[in-house]
Structure 1
Amino acid sequence: MLTSRIHLQRLTLVAVSAVALVATMAALPSAAAPVASSGERAAAAPGGGDSTTGKVCPAPDPATPKRQFRAMWIASVVNIDWPSRQGLSVAEQKAEYLRLLDEAEDRRLNGVVVQIRPTADAFWPSPYEPWSEWLTGTPGQDPGYDPLAFLVGEAHARNLEFHAWFNPYRVSMQADPAHLAPDHPARQHPDWIVPYGGKLYYNPGIPQVRRFVEDAILHAVKNYDVDAVHFDDYFYPYPVGTEQFDDEATYQEYGAGFPDKADWRRNNIDLLVKELSVRIKKAKPWVKFGISPFAVWRNIATDPEGSDTQAGVETFDDLYADTRRWVREEWIDYIVPQVYWNIGFAPADYAKLVPWWSAEVDGRDVQLFVGQATYKAGTSTQDPAWSDPREMTRHLTFNRDHPQVAGDIYFSAKDVIADRLDNMSILVADHYARPALVPEMRQLGGRAPDQPSLVSAEHTDEGARLSWKDTSSAHRRATSYAVYRFDGDESDPCGFDDAGNLLTTVRAGSGTKQGFVDTTADPGRTYTYAVTGLDRLHHESKPSEGRTARP
């Protein structure tokens, strides 16, 4: 996702042409009206129905989906997004990150994907690798705090999922090992590294390297409350001219059984993905594993099963990443193809790639999110289509016709904030007018918490104050809550099918007593509230009884 790789994508293409909270304010201040969950309604019509009243519910509004993953990448390598430069004080680093989270909240995102191992280094005290130079400017220098603990904790405080982004094989953005920290594993094992394209890489063909990379990643998984492990598109490096990646000796040593060197390379990457998937689930079954590859597996001219594209890079052939196989084998929990091109772009048309990936995930336990090229919007060096402020909002409108698309991730945070041509503001107004719950991943287990008990809802000087109890046993207690708000003194039993009445989600506090203040409530209006509980995999409980807050 670096600028050099982004330019490579463009040039090569052109060259070929918690528990949910629901509150209902109506009825008497002390009265509680039962609210039926969507799971209790009969499917009497396309939109379902209320089995207690016989009411037929309309189809959920596609403009306000109840579940949709919405996130932005926060890149740390070469200080793309955070920290903005090397050597900032601890206070400055923390303040910058909090501003990024504020931005995510303001745009109704529900996740962040944060790069914590950009170049075989660490944003946490790792026993495997040195502190990252992108924090202090000096490889191996302690930044004076535990960034990863801070990053995760602050994201969760806002009920944002935290996806920990690791680059598996890139060691350095320059080619001199002497620049690395003295105790860097690449200096201790010079036979592990390969210089290529002015950078250093671990050799994916060495089994000890693969195990080491997995161990380094698993240390973060085991010791921090991350919600997912995330890779981007770097496996074997992108081709650089006619330069060859020098792994012939490794192939001769470990490639028995693979007459084709390309097959051996793909097997090396397959083993990393498969083994890491198993090890993540063994350590923490609820932690997701997702990968965001370059969006073209193979062109149709190369393989009749490929996409109708003419891209200059194909992950199968050039990066030795069989991204389609990872989906078909269900080694990963989600895939985020970087569909970084506009609708109608002939070499790689957004409107052709999204349907291709939708068909690939269909019927499989792998969720599809789309990587969106926010960095291209309003940039003069890009295709003229990106000068249209509505280009990206059209992408999400197109996605509605492909129900396999469960969300989007935006590259990158600084471009989300820049909002050139008001492109993100337009997208948010068109598609993120309401918050959304993170999609469930049923294949990872989990179960909905018990129904919370909404004790009270009342207007105060601060806003409408809600109080509820979570009386579940400790292992069933909600991780977060969803709050629903209805106008008037009556709730709609069909109002839980989309996000039209979803007010917000909040992280669970300690203990059984929970609360929230709706500061957006008009003190002169009557509302009915209801609350649901969500486990860490976002299974939703039945709604609480409705409670009314009156002026």
Structure 2
Amino acid sequence: MQDAISRRGFLGLAGGGVAGLALYDLAAWQKPVEAASGGSASPERCGRPEVPKREFRAVWVASVSNIDWPSRPGLPARRQKRELLDILDAVRSLGMNAVILQVRPAADALYPSRYAPWSSYLTGRQGRSPGYDPLAFAVEEAHRRGLELHAWFNPYRVSTGSSLRGLSPRSPAREHPGWVVRYGGRLYFDPGIPGVRRLIERSVMEVVGRYDVDAVHLDDYFYPYPVSGEGFPDGGTFRRYGGRFRSKAAWRRNNVDLLVGGLSRQIKRKKRYVKFGISPFGIWRNRSEDPRGSATSGLSSYDDLYADSRGWVRRGWLDYVVPQVYWNFGYGPAPYEVLVRWWAEQVRGRGVELYIGQAAYKIGSGGAWDDPNEMPSHVRFDRRYPGVRGDVYFSVSDVLKNPLGFRGRLARDLYRHPALIPAMRRPGGAPPHPVLLRARNTRRGVLLEWHARGRPDDALYVVYRFGGARRPGACDLRDGRNILKVVPAGRSGTRSCFDRTARPGRRYTYCVSAVDRLHHESPPGGRAVITVR
């Protein structure tokens, strides 16, 4: 990454004849929504919906150097919590469905850890407790709002400074100074040392085991970005561990591969629903270096960061990849359109979701970025490609500043309709089947109440609304414009929501489905028809 959801109690089943009440239709679809959208009502026959039903919409929330959160070190816990709640509320209000929170900005942590001291970005002093568990708080509050929480780790960075003396005595860098190298005025773990890899794996799996995170996320920093006139000082490590490799570059890529592949296997064994994603630099390799590369001419992750991002996709190690395509349309060395097309080809048939990393920090910075339509055009362009399933913006602060009106464009136009997160390709548990109990008119709008069978604490609920009295078909259920709300599940099997946008005198059909932790959707549990008063 460039450093630059009222719970309401169930009122009981109502009998017929109650004024303003529409009872649920006992007839329900027998196939899950995803299955119903294939077969005889395939996506081709339905046509590509104007608004995608499934689309990953996320922001990075960076803690390093207090870029996004907390706004500065040393704030009281209540202030830190308030700032985070404001971010989560804002993200949800923009129609987004996930946050990627940096929980290990360096060799430190935003949670109590066996393997790293408390981050100085919380308290101003590394190792000092903020008095609460920020990651536990973030996970609970994100899920309360129906947002996924992806835990973002920077694996190898030790410090943005150059001295070990400023680190906590509990820092693994202080405990193992031989694992640390100085490069470009900063401190890094040497990726070639096996102990470093074990430390990072244990740090990640500590979070996977203790917290209800939805994903583990690594950014673009593997071996550090090149510094002019300075070589990364790992010659001794190569001599000790790189004997079977013909080149240091191949050995370095293998070191990173060992970490990525190892994490992929361990995460899937520990919790099947936890995803693993990486956000690499946007260029894998240039075509001039490799015929399989993109028609670009810039720094590449393969040759300069020793990160074989294309290889990770092809080996199936990732659940999703978010290449940082931080350039505008027509940019000579790395045109946005060229790279999006290239990445869409790389994920084809691989079972890896592709989301595009967007440079929100560049909006209004000059040139093409002074065009208020540049970034909205990125989103619309991505929707033209079936292989592209969403966008992630760096960073949340830049989006919330509303540069050139972009925040408003998201809320009023691009993300006006809710969207589900793409379903994971691996097998998962069956979501509970909700039963739509009733829809009735109230002074606050149409009140919908339903009950879920199964484990409602593991689900979201999708409330659909259609004009008129009718039985929606498979194509209706694929159109994102028909999603009224996505409602987080509570610990009770009964949930409710209001439709405050229904127009008086109009007749509507409602139905509710459930989505499990792997984002597989159940059949709608039934339907309710009501005339709004």
**Partner of residue 162 from structure 1, selected from 121, 139, 149:** 149
**Partner of residue 161 from structure 2, selected from 146, 165, 174:** 174
**Partner of residue 197 from structure 2, selected from 202, 210, 214:** 210
Correspondence for 1:466:
448
In structure 2, the CA distance between the partners of 1:188 and 1:467, relative to structure 1 (3 Å rule), is: same
Alignment partners' CA distance in 2, 1:539 and 1:215: 30
Matches within 5 A, 1:359-438: 359-380=345-366, 384-438=367-421
* Counterpart residue type for residue 451 of structure 2: K
Correspondence for 2:316:
330
TM-score (norm 1): 0.90
The question of whether the paired residues in 2 share the 8 Å contact of 1:478 and 1:533 is answered with: no
Q: Is residue 2:13 matched to residue 1:32?
A: no
Instruction: Name the structure, 1 or 2, with higher relative contact order (CA <8 Å, separation 6+).
Output: 1
**Partner of residue 335 from structure 2, selected from 349, 354, 363:** 349
Give the CA deviation at 1:521.
Answer: 3.7
Alignment partners' CA distance in 1, 2:348 and 2:20: 44
* Counterpart residue type for residue 529 of structure 1: Y
* Counterpart residue type for residue 32 of structure 1: D
The question of whether the paired residues in 2 share the 8 Å contact of 1:453 and 1:545 is answered with: yes
In structure 2, the CA distance between the partners of 1:522 and 1:340, relative to structure 1 (3 Å rule), is: same
Alignment partners' CA distance in 2, 1:226 and 1:361: 25
**Partner of residue 103 from structure 1, selected from 64, 87, 90:** 90
Q: Is residue 2:113 matched to residue 1:126?
A: yes
Alignment partners' CA distance in 2, 1:509 and 1:68: 23
* Counterpart residue type for residue 390 of structure 2: G
Correspondence for 1:479:
459
Correspondence for 1:318:
304
Correspondence for 1:541:
522
Alignment partners' CA distance in 2, 1:30 and 1:329: 50
Alignment partners' CA distance in 1, 2:43 and 2:201: 45
Unaligned 5+ segments in structure 2 are 6-18
In structure 2, the CA distance between the partners of 1:59 and 1:35, relative to structure 1 (3 Å rule), is: farther
Aligned residues: 515
Q: Is residue 2:81 matched to residue 1:94?
A: yes
Deviations 1:214-272 (A, max 9, x none): 10111011000000000110000001111111111111111110121111111000000
The question of whether the paired residues in 1 share the 8 Å contact of 2:364 and 2:404 is answered with: yes
TM-score (norm 2): 0.92
Alignment partners' CA distance in 2, 1:212 and 1:151: 24
* Counterpart residue type for residue 470 of structure 2: E
Give the CA deviation at 1:537.
Answer: 0.8
Give the CA deviation at 1:429.
Answer: 4.0
Give the CA deviation at 1:327.
Answer: 0.6
* Helix, strand or coil at the partner of 1:256: coil
Deviations 1:350-389 (A, max 9, x none): 1100111111110101110000111101114xxx000000
Correspondence for 1:442:
425
In structure 2, the CA distance between the partners of 1:31 and 1:471, relative to structure 1 (3 Å rule), is: closer
Alignment partners' CA distance in 1, 2:38 and 2:352: 28
The question of whether the paired residues in 2 share the 8 Å contact of 1:375 and 1:411 is answered with: yes
In structure 2, the CA distance between the partners of 1:143 and 1:259, relative to structure 1 (3 Å rule), is: same
Superposed CA RMSD = 2.1
Q: Is residue 2:53 matched to residue 1:70?
A: no
* Counterpart residue type for residue 2 of structure 1: Q
The question of whether the paired residues in 2 share the 8 Å contact of 1:372 and 1:410 is answered with: yes
Q: Is residue 2:59 matched to residue 1:59?
A: no
* Helix, strand or coil at the partner of 2:267: helix
Deviations 1:35-71 (A, max 9, x none): 54653478446658xxxxxxxx74242x211101000
* Counterpart residue type for residue 419 of structure 1: N
Q: Is residue 2:96 matched to residue 1:114?
A: no
Correspondence for 2:11:
none
The question of whether the paired residues in 1 share the 8 Å contact of 2:24 and 2:438 is answered with: no
Alignment partners' CA distance in 1, 2:301 and 2:490: 44
Identity %: 50
